[in-house]
């Protein structure tokens, strides 16, 4: 019996792949929406390619996927689901959920033993809660070319103990973004020197960051009648502010000479959240508020993206999005920005000696912050199809195109992505911009003093209490020390409730990543 | 048909309604009580019995009690403003004025919009960098105001959105009440030479008191569930300045995934609200009607 759906899908796929040359099939998304402007990408041969996936027949089977709301990660999921349907004959049901509800929508079916979803897209920091429910990535998929090219940081993010249980589809980190047109402007440099006695340079410490941000805050930099501000930061309590706080404190509290834990002392499981390093980081965060733009004290991630990306501020730091927004074709600051590692600190708290260690070169540990990841449910009866979908989702052609569509939220995570030529040729970035971007991102893979998220059971409880304490200090309701003492007390209660050994066992995985070096 | 047969038929007809009641009200309530006696969270799934541990924790949870006080202040404050404005608008279009029908419809529009969507629009209006509120106020020499970044202004912003959205509800009920009032007391007051202010305080307000009590209680019940405005506008911030009890329960239950504890918070919240609203209703009846409550 002829399978007409499969036949039609194959014809469709052939049409897609034979659109350019007979030998190097090129892929585009034009058929699926307003994507023609992003051009084409070569279908790299291999198990995940369009050609290989087209040979699979999943007719009569249904793949259930839960993912984020459109567009960030939700839009590429929907797009690749449609393509997967066309290629394999499978039916793919995609459920898009806002971030605030995603965790519980994943967790409740897991806890109640339902196989509600085969494939999950979620924040990688939940691995401590979810790993028991996830199917390890089979060896065959670890051998595909795309997976082999994933950089070590993002392999680490996907790994729980000895096993890879998350399928890398994105790479995230926090880094500094700045207005290069200010730092390259001779007049502004001369004025800064005259006014402050210092050279205007990209800040290498958070003290410099705050000082430079304050100097340029609420000023008309270029005499065009537009006022600009110092720093756009994610400061809204329940809108990912906890990650901004970790970025700021890492420099003061992640001492390269002290192994065995950043958030906790792994031996005693005593919270370190209120040690002088964390307190100093919070004080610097509080002090920076005077350089925020109007409303900046309640900026969520979206506000931060459009504030820096729209040219309102001199600095920003967080995920890639603000930089990508700044580099969009219609951006007023396109090719006027630069990327650099997060600022550091010359004095770093040593929790073992209870003293501040001094560093000539600022200590600037990269924060390999959580980002989007994917996984296959252990309870799924469609694991073969589910892994094929993720393999297809992240094949070279799709990733090449997805990286160019800023709103998709797919950011560099493979060695191939760290080539300045890619960003120059595909997106028209200036060479200098592309180089600062690529060098900053790839440089994090070389660090042996990294900070990862607190990937332990109950991570949301820990991060929620921390964000609340930080927010109380930022709003002036408590001092930095009072606020973090309160957080430490709550963390101890959470640890006792979950079980010290259970949290320690999970945290040991995080410490192993942080301490293993390169 | 004997009496037993009649009773059987009566009960049979009531049964579907009773089963629906059981399914949509009693079962969720009883299940929530059961969940509140469990330690269900991200690490320990299921209904493992832990007795009243969660309730004991509630009593020591200062953040919850602070959020209750905050909620009380915002709910009572905004409902009083809604009542005063609603009454004023109802009086305005009760009389014969031009475009009466137009104004009646116009005043109802905020109530007919979706709260979350309207709050998103308000958030945009009040955005201190991009929103028009401060720009417009600047034209007349006011501001800029830290609508969403100062604790006091954030509370004011939430109350303002609540008042904007729900004053029409008050307006609707009070206008219906005014229209249904008998004309004789007003004629008698006019013959006695009472002016508009005296007529209002001696005739209109007392006659409308039963409707006023109903409207205020209904709005207080709704306002005590204040969450969507907080969620969209401030996320409880800055700090905890606008965190209400409902929003805190949401954070504990669905963000932190402390399901058992959130259920205990919900039940505590429900009991407090039932007691408080009953007391407020009794007080209003005594104060406005001068009657001994039943």
CA-to-CA distance for B119 and B123, rounded, in angstroms? Answer: 6
Distance from CA of A304 to the nearest CA of B (A): 11
Residue A66's DSSP bridge partners are A95, A120
| Sequential pLDDT tens for chain B (294 residues) | 567 777 888 888 889 988 998 888 899 999 999 999 999 999 998 899 999 999 999 999 999 999 999 999 999 999 999 999 999 999 998 887 788 888 888 888 898 889 899 999 999 999 998 899 999 999 999 989 999 999 999 999 999 999 999 999 999 999 999 999 999 999 999 999 999 999 999 999 999 999 999 999 999 999 999 999 999 999 998 999 999 999 999 999 999 999 999 999 999 999 999 999 999 999 999 988 876 555
Give B257's contacts in chain A (Cβ within 8 Å): 103-104, 107, 460-461
Nearest to B175 by CA among B114, B276, B257, B97: B97
Closest to B235 (Cβ–Cβ): which among A112, A238, A295? A238
Hey, are the CB atoms on A100 and B43 less than 8 Å from each other? no
> Which residues of B make CB contacts under 8 Å with A?
41-43, 45-46, 63, 127-130, 134, 144, 146-149, 151, 234-241, 251, 254-258
| Nearest by CB: B128 against A295, A306, A460 | A295
Instruction: Give the N- to C-terminal CA distance of chain B in Å, as an integer.
Output: 39
Contacts B134 to A, Cβ<8 Å: 294
Selecting from A238, A303, A499 the residue whose C-beta is nearest the C-beta of B236 gives A238
Please report, for chain A, how many H helices and E strands are present, in that order: 22, 18
Give the residue numbers in A contacting B (CB under 8 Å), as ranges.
Answer: 100-101, 103-104, 107, 111-112, 129, 236-239, 293-298, 300, 303, 306-307, 312, 457-458, 460-461, 464, 468, 471-477, 498-499, 502
DSSP state of A223: S
Using an 8 Å CB-CB cutoff, list chain B residues near A233. none
* A315 phi/psi in degrees, rounded to 5: -125, 165
Q: Over the stretch B7-51, which tens digit does the pLDDT of each residue have?
A: 888 888 889 988 998 888 899 999 999 999 999 999 998 899 999
* Residue in A502, A410, A425 with CA at minimum distance from that of residue A456: A502
d(CA B89, CA B167): 9
Residue to mutate among B257, B258, B262, B263, with most A CBs inside 10 A, is B257
Chain segment A460-503, per-residue pLDDT in tens: 999 999 999 999 999 999 999 999 999 999 999 999 999 999 99
By C-alpha distance, which of A45, A316, A30, A47 is closest to A176?
A: A316
Q: Which residues of chain B neighbour A482 with C-beta distances below 8 Å?
A: none
Under a CB-based contact definition with an 8 Å cutoff, are residues B236 and A238 in contact? yes
> Mean pLDDT in chain A?
93
Nearest CA to CA, how far is A130 from chain B (Å)? 9
- Residue A355, pLDDT score: 98
> Is A298's CB within 8 Å of B238's CB?
yes
State the best of A237, A480, A495, A498 to mutate against chain B, taking most chain B CBs within 10 Å.
A237
Nearest to A237 among B41, B235, B254 (CB): B235
Tell me how crowded residue B104 is: count the other CB atoms within 10 A of its CB.
Answer: 18
Q: Which residue of A111, A239, A474 is in closest CB contact with B238?
A: A474
Contact B149 A297 (CB under 8 A): yes
Does B240 sit within 8 Å of A468, measured CB to CB?
yes
Q: Say how many Å lie between the first and final Cα of chain A, rounded.
A: 57
Shortest CB distance from A237 goes to which of B63, B127, B237? B237
User: Which residue on chain B is closest to A503 by alpha carbon?
Assistant: B43
User: Could A307 and B63 be called an inter-chain contact, meaning their C-beta atoms sit closer than 8 Å?
Assistant: no
How far is Cα of residue A234 from the mean position of the Cα atoms in its chain?
14
The pLDDT, as a whole number, for residue A21 is 41
């Amino acid at each position: 019996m002829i399978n007409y759906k499969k036949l039609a899908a194959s014809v469709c796929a052939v049409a897609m792949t034979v659109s350019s040359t007979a030998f190097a099939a090129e892929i585009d998304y034009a058929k699926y929406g307003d994507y023609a402007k992003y051009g084409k990408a070569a279908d790299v041969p291999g198990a995940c390619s369009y050609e290989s996936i087209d040979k699979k027949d999943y007719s009569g089977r249904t793949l259930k996927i839960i993912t984020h709301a459109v567009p960030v990660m939700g839009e590429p999921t929907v797009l690749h689901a449609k393509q997967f349907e066309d290629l394999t004959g499978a039916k793919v049901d995609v459920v898009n959920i806002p971030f605030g509800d995603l965790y519980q929508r994943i967790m409740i079916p897991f806890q109640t033993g339902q196989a509600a979803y085969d494939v999950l897209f979620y924040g990688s920091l939940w691995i401590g809660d979810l790993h028991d429910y996830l199917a390890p990535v089979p060896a065959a998929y670890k051998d595909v070319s795309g997976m082999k090219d994933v950089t070590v940081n993002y392999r680490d993010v996907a790994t729980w103990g000895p096993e890879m249980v998350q399928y890398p589809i994105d790479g995230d980190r926090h880094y500094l973004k700045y207005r290069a047109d200010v730092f390259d402007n001779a007049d502004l440099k001369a004025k800064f020197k005259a006014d402050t006695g210092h050279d205007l340079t990209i800040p290498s410490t958070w003290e410099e960051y705050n000082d430079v941000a304050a100097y340029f805050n609420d000023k008309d930099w270029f005499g065009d009648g537009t006022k600009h501000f110092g720093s756009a930061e994610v400061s809204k309590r329940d809108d990912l502010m906890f990650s901004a706080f970790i970025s700021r404190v890492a420099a003061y509290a992640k001492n390269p000479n002290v192994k065995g834990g950043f958030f906790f002392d792994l031996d005693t499981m005593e919270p370190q959240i209120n040690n002088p390093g964390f307190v100093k980081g919070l004080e610097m965060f509080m002090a920076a508020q005077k350089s925020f733009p109007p409303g900046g004290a309640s900026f969520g991630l979206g506000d931060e993206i459009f504030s820096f990306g729209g040219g309102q501020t001199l600095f920003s730091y967080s995920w890639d999005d603000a930089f990508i927004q700044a580099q969009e074709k219609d951006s007023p600051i396109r090719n006027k920005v630069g990327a650099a590692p997060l600022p550091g600190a010359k004095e770093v708290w040593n929790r073992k000696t209870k003293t501040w260690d001094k560093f000539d070169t600022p200590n600037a540990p990269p924060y390999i912050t959580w980002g989007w990841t994917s996984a296959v449910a252990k309870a799924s009866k469609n694991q073969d199809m589910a892994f094929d979908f993720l393999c297809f989702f992240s094949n070279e052609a799709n990733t090449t195109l997805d990286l160019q569509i800023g709103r998709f939220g797919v950011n560099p995570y493979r060695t191939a992505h760290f080539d300045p030529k890619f960003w120059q040729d595909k997106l028209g970035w200036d060479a200098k911009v592309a180089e600062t971007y690529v060098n900053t991102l790839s440089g994090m893979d070389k660090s042996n003093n990294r900070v990862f998220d607190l990937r332990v059971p109950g991570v949301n409880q820990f991060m929620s209490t921390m964000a609340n304490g930080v927010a109380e200090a930022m709003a002036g309701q408590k001092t930095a020390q009072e606020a973090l003492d309160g957080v430490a007390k709550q963390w101890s209660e959470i640890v006792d409730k979950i079980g010290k050994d259970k949290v320690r066992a999970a945290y040991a995985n995080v410490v192993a990543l942080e301490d293993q070096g390169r | 048909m004997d009496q037993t047969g009649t009773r059987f038929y009566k009960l049979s007809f009531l049964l579907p309604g009773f089963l629906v009641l059981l399914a949509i009200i009693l079962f969720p309530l009883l299940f929530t009580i059961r969940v509140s006696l469990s330690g269900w969270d991200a690490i320990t799934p299921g209904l493992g019995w832990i007795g009243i541990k969660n309730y004991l924790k509630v009593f020591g949870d200062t953040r919850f009690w602070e959020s209750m006080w905050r909620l009380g202040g915002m709910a009572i404050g905004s409902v009083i403003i809604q009542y005063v404005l609603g009454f004023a608008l109802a009086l305005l279009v009760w009389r014969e004025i031009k475009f009466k029908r137009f104004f009646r419809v116009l005043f109802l529009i905020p109530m007919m919009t979706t709260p979350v969507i309207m709050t998103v629009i308000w958030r945009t209006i009040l955005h201190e960098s991009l929103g028009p509120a401060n720009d417009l106020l600047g034209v007349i020499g006011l501001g800029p105001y830290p609508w969403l970044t100062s604790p006091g202004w954030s509370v004011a912003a939430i109350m303002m959105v609540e008042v904007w959205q729900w004053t029409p509800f008050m307006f609707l009920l009070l206008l219906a009440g005014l229209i249904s009032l008998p004309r004789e007391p007003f004629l008698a007051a006019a013959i006695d030479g009472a002016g508009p202010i005296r007529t209002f305080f001696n005739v209109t307000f007392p006659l409308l008191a039963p409707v006023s009590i109903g409207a205020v209680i209904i709005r207080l019940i709704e306002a005590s569930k204040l969450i969507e405005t907080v969620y969209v506008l401030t996320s409880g911030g800055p700090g905890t300045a606008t965190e209400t009890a409902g929003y805190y329960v949401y954070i504990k239950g669905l963000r932190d995934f402390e399901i058992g504890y959130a259920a205990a918070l919900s039940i505590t919240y429900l009991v407090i609200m039932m007691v408080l609203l009953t007391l407020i209703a009794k007080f209003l009846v005594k104060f406005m009607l001068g009657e001994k409550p039943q």
